[in-house]
C-alpha cells in the first residue's frame, strides 16, 4: 500500500454530507463483526460505526495514523469497543472471521488490488460482504491522485474484475454525478493540483445535495465515485 502524502484525510473529514450520502448504500451490511481496512485517521469509522456492531476492527499500516485513532477512541469521538491494529491483512490472526470487510478510499492505494481482495476473502464469513468505495474513471487521474499515492481510478468493470471468484454482486453503482462534471472542469480548465478546504466544503454543501437528485434520475449511471457490495457465497449456493 502506498503511503499517504499530504493532508487529504484532514480535508475530506469535513465532507459530512458526502459521508452520509454514501453511507446509506452500505450501512445495512455493517452488522455484527466488521473489519475496516485502511482506517486512516478514523473518520470513516466515526461516520459508519453506529455502536450496534459486536466488534469493529480498524486496521491501518501507518502507525502515526493509528495513534490518531487511539486518541479519538480515548476522548470518546469513536466508540469504546473498536479495536485498532497497526499493520495489514498479512499480520492478522488467520482464524478471525468477519461479517463485513470495508475498503473506503483505500483500494486505489494498493498496487495489487485483486491479491488484496483474495486475502480479504479468507477473513470473511460465508454470506458476509465485501464493501468497496473508490474514485472513478482513469481519465480523471490527476496530479492530486498521484500526490496522495493512488495507483489508479476505477470504472465498474475494473472494480468487479478485482473481486475474486466465490462472490456474488449485490450492488455496484456510480455516485456524485455533479462532482464528475466538476472534476472534468478542473482537469480541462482550472488544472488545480490540490483542493482547498473551502472547495471541499462547497462541493459537500452544494454539489452533493444536487448529485443525490441527479444520481437517482440517471439511475446511478455516472459519477466520480464507484461503490460496490459483494456477498461471499457458500459452495452449495
**pLDDT band for position 197 (50/70/90)?**
confident
**pLDDT band for position 11 (50/70/90)?**
confident
Instruction: Give the cell for residue 119.
Output: 486475502
Q: Say which residues have a Cβ less than 8 Å from residue 207's Cβ, sequence separation at least 6.
A: 176, 178, 179, 182
Distance CA 98, CA 124 (A): 5
Burial level of 223, CB count in 10 A (0-12/13-18/19+)?
Answer: buried
Distance CA 121, CA 141 (A): 28
Given a cut of 80, whether residue 236 has pLDDT beyond it is no
Q: Which residues pair with 36 in a beta bridge?
A: 58, 102
Q: What are the residue boundaries of the structural domains of the chain, listed by start?
A: 8-232
pLDDT at res. 190: 59
- Cell 484532514: give the residue: 10
141 or 237, which is more confident? 141
**pLDDT band for position 235 (50/70/90)?**
low
pLDDT at res. 2: 47
Superfamily holding 8-232: Vaccinia Virus protein VP39 (3.40.50.150)
Nearest to 169 by CA among 232, 220, 107: 232
Given a cut of 70, whether residue 3 has pLDDT beyond it is no
Helix axes 208-217, 16-26, angle to 10 degrees: 30
Q: Say which residues have a Cβ less than 8 Å from residue 127's Cβ, sequence separation at least 6.
A: 231, 232, 233, 234
pLDDT in tens, 36-88: 999 999 999 999 999 999 999 999 999 999 999 999 999 999 999 999 999 99
User: How confident is the prediction for the chain on average, in pLDDT?
Assistant: 92
Flag whether the pTM goes above 0.75: yes
- Tell me, rounded to whole angstroms, the distance of Cα 118 from its chain centroid: 17
- Please compute the mean of the pLDDT values over residues 104-129 and round it to a whole number: 96
Amino acid at each position: 500500500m502506498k503511503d499517504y502524502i499530504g493532508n487529504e484525510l484532514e480535508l475530506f473529514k469535513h465532507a459530512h454530507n458526502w459521508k452520509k450520502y454514501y453511507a446509506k448504500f452500505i450501512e445495512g451490511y455493517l452488522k455484527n463483526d466488521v473489519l475496516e481496512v485502511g482506517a486512516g485517521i478514523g473518520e470513516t469509522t466515526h461516520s459508519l460505526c453506529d455502536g450496534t456492531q459486536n466488534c469493529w476492527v480498524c486496521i491501518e499500516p501507518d502507525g502515526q495514523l493509528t495513534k490518531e485513532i487511539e486518541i479519538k477512541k480515548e476522548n470518546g469521538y469513536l466508540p469504546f469497543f473498536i479495536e485498532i491494529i497497526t499493520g495489514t491483512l498479512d499480520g492478522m490472526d488467520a482464524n478471525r472471521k468477519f461479517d463485513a470487510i470495508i475498503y473506503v478510499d483505500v483500494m486505489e492505494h494498493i498496487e495489487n488490488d485483486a491479491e488484496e481482495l483474495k486475502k480479504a476473502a479468507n477473513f470473511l464469513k460465508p454470506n458476509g460482504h465485501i464493501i468497496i468505495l473508490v474514485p472513478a474513471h482513469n481519465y480523471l487521474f490527476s496530479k492530486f491522485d498521484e500526490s496522495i499515492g493512488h495507483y489508479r481510478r476505477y470504472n465498474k468493470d475494473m472494480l468487479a474484475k478485482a473481486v475474486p471468484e466465490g462472490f456474488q454482486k449485490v450492488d455496484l453503482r456510480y455516485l456524485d454525478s455533479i462532482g464528475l462534471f466538476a472534476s472534468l472542469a478542473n482537469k480541462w480548465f482550472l488544472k488545480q493540483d490540490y483542493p482547498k478546504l473551502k472547495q471541499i466544503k462547497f462541493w459537500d454543501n452544494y454539489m452533493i445535495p444536487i448529485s443525490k437528485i441527479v444520481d437517482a434520475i440517471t439511475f446511478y449511471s455516472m459519477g466520480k465515485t464507484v461503490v460496490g457490495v459483494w456477498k461471499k457465497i457458500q459452495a452449495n449456493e
